[in-house]
């Protein structure tokens, strides 16, 4: 009897509207009005060694969102401004990841890149929104994201075919076999073009890692947030930490540091500033880096399947090893 | 007990030679408790100190001169040891002002090779002994091990304590073994490895440090390098404080050697800061402080080259000993 009474009491209590808020309100009111909620804005961070980090320097630079953006960000947000030492840390992370990545079978690297495409597909809306809030038209953003996902699939397909196409069995004058085989170079730095912010970053970095290199990329300074959303795709794909590191900051500060770093074996720089291009070439001479400096293509060319992708993009960051082997042994 | 004569900590150390045996002989041997939180806080606070430019270069060069280049593997060969000796004498081809290192640390069988290669240099030969790394052998074997190593030419002996005895409270056994090994060393310097990663708490580390110093150690050393965790800043601080307290009581300077786990140039500077702040300038010498390391040297060399040239270095450009 006692027990039953208690249950009834409990039921009645639960029927009552909550009075724990600031002002007592009736049920009808609490249902009708949308409850004011503090939205959670994201702290944008760089992606280094599989972790999201702030700049060791504690510096930030600011980017603005287009008017009427729907996300939780403020109109102006802080993005880490990477420093010389962030480059150092990222190169170290890439160096440490190199052994594991180049030893994976090319087939497995392809699987991982395909997984990246899967993850991007499921985050497609977020990527589109991110590009659009940095000032692009929505249709253009959609087109760019679609092209980017297709490009990830494209390089996923190439991963286990590069060697078959590029390697050769050389005719030699003697009782020997001569083979030339492609091998990854090491840690490659990429200075991505400003636009398109997603497709440009993806088109320059994916061929590098497809070939078995590891990569440190500096994202577009005009739209660094999209690169960070892309990094979140990387983090949730099966890509091992450190294989692709994404820094944010200013190219004029970081490009010479990357070019001068002796652990960096190649640099692929898409730079508008001619002085900076010259500086990258000069600094890169010290350890005879493979330096490629280029004026960025126009945005439509990046979308073009013939100009924006290809086997040559992978080959650019491969070394050739030639071995001679006696016949008949 | 007749050991508490002059009220100083020194009397406690005489208990060991006083004829009494067994744990009861050390009833007065009562090291101060270690405040874990304070030790870790202090070590962490000192590790944040920023050392740049000229001070950094000076610190790193000092670290090189304090290094015991170590190879303690089953696969060690005379060739590898010779290579390591060359590296100890002239760590960086391009700059003779760097180095030489303090010593080479090898297994007893390789002492003659090291000795011959290092002839005429200031680099010493250290050998591990006493059934390294476990120390779980009869005392007679440990002492034989030590004498042989000295006969083969070792200038320094790195012994291990019996951690099992330490943890079961058989301090007399630990003390006696150290004392006997010291005797077996003769003129060779004795470094006592506590293997702090197996001791469990800072209190035990402090007790083992006091024991080793009292039993005649010239150096106390954190680890064999075979157990994780090896050297850490807090555990080094605890040992440095034992050395400091003994110095105040006796006026004698004992050396310190963190070993294992010190891999980066930055870490080596943190240890030097800890050393300077705990024991002062007198200890900033290879005679009283050593790093037991193998990977550390290349990182220090890379940092020194970075300071000289302004460019971050590639690990491929430095010989893998």
- Which of A185, A263, A265 to mutate against chain B (most B CBs within 10 Å)? A263
Can you tell me the distance from the alpha carbon of A252 to that of B218, in angstroms, rounded to the nearest whole number? 55
| Cβ-count burial A106-142 (b if 16+ within 10 Å, e if not) | beebbbbbbbbbbbbeebeebbbbbbbbbbbeeebbb
Residues in chain B predicted with pLDDT less than 70, given as ranges, are 1-29
Confidence class for position A69, pLDDT limits 50, 70, 90: confident
The catalytic residue among B155, B158, B218, B299 is B158
Q: Describe the crossing of helices B296-309 and B53-65 by its angle, rounded to 10 degrees.
A: 150
Residue B144 and residue B12 share a domain: no
Residue B128 and residue B230 share a domain: yes
Residue B16 and residue B66 share a domain: no
Can you tell me the distance from the alpha carbon of B215 to that of A208, in angstroms, rounded to the nearest whole number? 60
Residue B103 and residue B18 share a domain: no
Residue B17 and residue B121 share a domain: no
Residue B143 and residue B16 share a domain: no
Mean pLDDT of A147-151: 98
In chain B, which residues have their Cβ closer than 8 Å to the Cβ of A262? 311-314, 317
Residue closest to A181 by CA, chosen among A14, A15, A325: A325
The catalytic residue among B173, B218, B257, B321 is B257
Residues 287-316 (A) with a CB less than 8 A from some CB of B: 287
What is the model's pLDDT at position A18? 43
Residue B36 and residue B23 share a domain: no
- Does the annotation count B158 as an active-site position? yes
Residue B82 and residue B21 share a domain: no
* Nearest-Cα residue of chain A relative to residue B315: A263
Residue B23 and residue B94 share a domain: no
B203 inside domain: yes
User: How many other CB atoms are found less than 10 A from the CB of residue A35?
Assistant: 7
The alpha carbon of residue A282 is apart from the nearest alpha carbon of chain B, in Å, by: 13
The alpha carbon of residue A262 is apart from the nearest alpha carbon of chain B, in Å, by: 5
CB contact under 8 A, A262 and B311: yes
Can you tell me the distance from the alpha carbon of A41 to that of A31, in angstroms, rounded to the nearest whole number? 26
What is the model's pLDDT at position B29? 67
- Does the annotation count B61 as an active-site position? no
CATH number at residue B53: 3.20.20.70
Confidence class for position A245, pLDDT limits 50, 70, 90: very high
B315 inside domain: no
Q: Under a CB-based contact definition with an 8 Å cutoff, are residues A172 and A178 in contact? A: yes
B95 inside domain: yes
- Nearest CB among A88, A257, A287 relative to B314 is that of A287
What is the model's pLDDT at position B81? 97
The catalytic residue among B142, B155, B221, B299 is B221
What is the model's pLDDT at position B115? 97
- pLDDT per residue as tens digits for the range A30-62: 555 667 899 999 999 999 999 999 999 999 999
What is the model's pLDDT at position B4? 38
Mean pLDDT of A61-68: 92
Which residues touch A283 (CB under 8 Å, ≥6 apart)? A256, A259, A260
Can you tell me the distance from the alpha carbon of A133 to that of A129, in angstroms, rounded to the nearest whole number? 6
* Nearest-Cα residue of chain A relative to residue B316: A263
Mean pLDDT of A310-318: 97
B314 inside domain: no
- Which of A262, A283, A286 to mutate against chain B (most B CBs within 10 Å)? A262
Beta strands in chain B (DSSP E): 67-70, 103-106, 124-128, 156-160, 189-193, 219-221, 255-257, 291-293
Residue A9 pLDDT > 70, yes or no? no
What is the model's pLDDT at position A19? 42
**Full residue range of the structural domain in which residue B126 is found:** 31-307
CB contact under 8 A, B315 and A91: no
Percent of chain A with pLDDT over 90: 84
CB contact under 8 A, B312 and A95: no
What is the model's pLDDT at position A329? 63
CB contact under 8 A, B312 and A263: yes
What is the model's pLDDT at position B320? 85
* Nearest-Cα residue of chain A relative to residue B313: A262
Domain boundaries, chain A: 46-68+83-317
Residue B291 and residue B186 share a domain: yes
* Nearest-Cα residue of chain B relative to residue A256: B311
In chain A, which residues have their Cβ closer than 8 Å to the Cβ of B312? 88, 91, 257, 260-263
Residues 278-317 (B) with a CB less than 8 A from some CB of A: 310-315, 317
- Please give the interface size between A and B, counted as residue pairs whose CB atoms are below 8 Å apart: 21
- Does the annotation count B221 as an active-site position? yes
Confidence class for position A70, pLDDT limits 50, 70, 90: confident
B321 inside domain: no
What is the model's pLDDT at position A68? 84
B319 inside domain: no
Give whole-number Cα distances, A244 to A72, A88, A289, B261, B274, in Å.
Answer: 27, 14, 19, 28, 37
Which strands, in side-by-side order, build the sheet including A51-53? A51-53, A46-48, A244-247, A214-218, A187-191, A264-270, A290-294
CB contact under 8 A, B315 and A95: yes
Residue B62 and residue B46 share a domain: yes
- pLDDT per residue as tens digits for the range A167-211: 999 999 999 999 999 999 999 999 999 999 999 999 999 999 999
Residues 138-157 (A) with a CB less than 8 A from some CB of B: none
- Nearest CB among A88, A257, A263 relative to B314 is that of A263
- Which of B309, B312, B313, B317 to mutate against chain A (most A CBs within 10 Å)? B312
Least trusted range by pLDDT, from A106-110, A134-138, A268-272: A134-138
Residue A3 pLDDT > 80, yes or no? no
Homologous superfamily in CATH for domain A46-68+83-317: Aldehyde Dehydrogenase; Chain A, domain 1 (3.40.605.10)
Q: Is A279 on the interface with B (CB under 8 A)?
A: no
Report the domain count for chain B. 2
- Which of B314, B315, B318 to mutate against chain A (most A CBs within 10 Å)? B314
In chain A, which residues have their Cβ closer than 8 Å to the Cβ of B311? 260-262, 286-287
The alpha carbon of residue A202 is apart from the nearest alpha carbon of chain B, in Å, by: 27
Which residues touch A272 (CB under 8 Å, ≥6 apart)? A194, A295, A296
B318 inside domain: no
Residue B238 and residue B123 share a domain: yes
Structure tokens at A195: 């636009």
């Amino acid at each position: 009897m006692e027990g039953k009474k208690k249950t009834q009491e409990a039921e009645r209590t639960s029927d009552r509207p909550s009075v724990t808020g600031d002002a007592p309100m009736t049920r009808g009111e609490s249902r009708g009005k949308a409850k004011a909620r503090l939205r959670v804005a994201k702290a944008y961070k760089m992606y280094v060694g599989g972790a999201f980090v702030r700049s060791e320097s504690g510096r930030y630079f600011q980017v603005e969102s287009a008017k009427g953006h729907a996300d939780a960000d403020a109109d102006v947000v802080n993005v880490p401004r990477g420093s010389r030492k962030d480059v150092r840390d990222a190169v170290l992370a890439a160096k440490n990841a190199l052994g594991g990545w180049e030893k994976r079978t090319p087939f497995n690297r392809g699987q991982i890149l395909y997984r990246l495409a899967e993850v991007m597909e499921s985050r497609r809306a977020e990527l589109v929104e991110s590009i659009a809030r940095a000032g692009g038209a929505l249709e253009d953003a959609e087109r760019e994201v679609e092209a980017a996902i297709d490009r990830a699939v494209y390089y996923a397909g190439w991963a286990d075919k590069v060697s078959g196409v590029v390697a050769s069995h050389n005719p030699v004058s003697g009782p020997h076999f001569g083979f030339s085989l492609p091998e990854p170079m090491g840690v490659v730095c990429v200075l991505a073009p400003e636009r398109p912010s997603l497709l440009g970053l993806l088109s320059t970095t994916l061929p590098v890692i497809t070939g078995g290199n590891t990569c440190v990329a500096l994202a577009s300074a005009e739209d660094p947030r999209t690169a960070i959303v892309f990094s979140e795709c990387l983090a949730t794909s099966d890509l091992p930490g450190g294989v692709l590191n994404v820094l944010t900051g200013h190219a004029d500060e970081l490009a010479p540091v990357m070019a001068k770093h002796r652990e960096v074996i190649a640099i692929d720089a898409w730079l508008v500033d001619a002085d900076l291009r010259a500086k990258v070439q000069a600094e890169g001479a010290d350890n005879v880096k493979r330096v490629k400096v280029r004026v960025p293509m126009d945005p439509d060319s990046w979308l073009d399947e013939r100009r924006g992708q290809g086997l040559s993009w992978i080959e650019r960051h491969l070394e050739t090893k030639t071995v001679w082997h006696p016949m008949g042994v | 007990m007749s050991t508490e004569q002059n009220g100083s900590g020194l009397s406690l150390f005489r208990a060991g030679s006083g004829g009494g045996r067994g744990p009861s002989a050390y009833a007065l041997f009562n090291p101060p408790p270690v405040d874990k939180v304070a030790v870790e806080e202090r070590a962490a606070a000192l590790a944040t100190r920023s050392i740049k430019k000229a001070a950094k270069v000076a610190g790193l060069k000092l670290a090189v001169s304090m290094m015991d280049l170590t190879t303690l593997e089953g696969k060690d060969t005379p060739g590898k040891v010779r290579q390591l000796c060359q590296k100890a004498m002239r760590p960086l081809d391009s700059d003779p002002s760097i180095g030489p290192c303090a010593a080479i640390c090898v297994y007893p069988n390789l002492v003659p090779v090291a000795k011959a290669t290092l002839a005429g240099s200031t680099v010493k030969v250290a050998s591990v002994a006493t059934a390294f790394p476990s120390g779980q052998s009869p005392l007679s074997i440990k002492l034989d091990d030590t004498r042989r190593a000295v006969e083969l030419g070792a200038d320094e002996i790195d012994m291990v304590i019996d951690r099992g005895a330490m943890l079961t409270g058989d301090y007399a056994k630990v003390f006696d073994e150290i004392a006997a090994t010291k005797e077996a060393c003769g003129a060779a310097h004795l470094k006592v490895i506590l293997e702090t990663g197996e001791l469990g708490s800072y209190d035990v580390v402090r007790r083992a440090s006091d024991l080793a110093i009292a039993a005649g150690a010239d150096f106390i050393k954190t680890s064999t390098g075979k157990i994780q965790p090896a050297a850490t800043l807090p555990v080094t601080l605890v040992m440095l404080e034992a050395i400091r307290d003994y110095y105040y009581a006796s006026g004698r300077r004992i050396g310190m050697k963190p070993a294992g786990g010190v891999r980066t140039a930055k870490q080596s500077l943190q240890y030097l800061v800890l050393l300077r702040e705990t024991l002062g300038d007198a200890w900033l010498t290879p005679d009283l402080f050593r790093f037991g390391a193998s990977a550390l040297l290349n990182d220090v060399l890379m940092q020194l080259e970075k300071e000289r040239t302004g460019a971050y270095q590639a690990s491929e450009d430095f010989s893998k000993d």
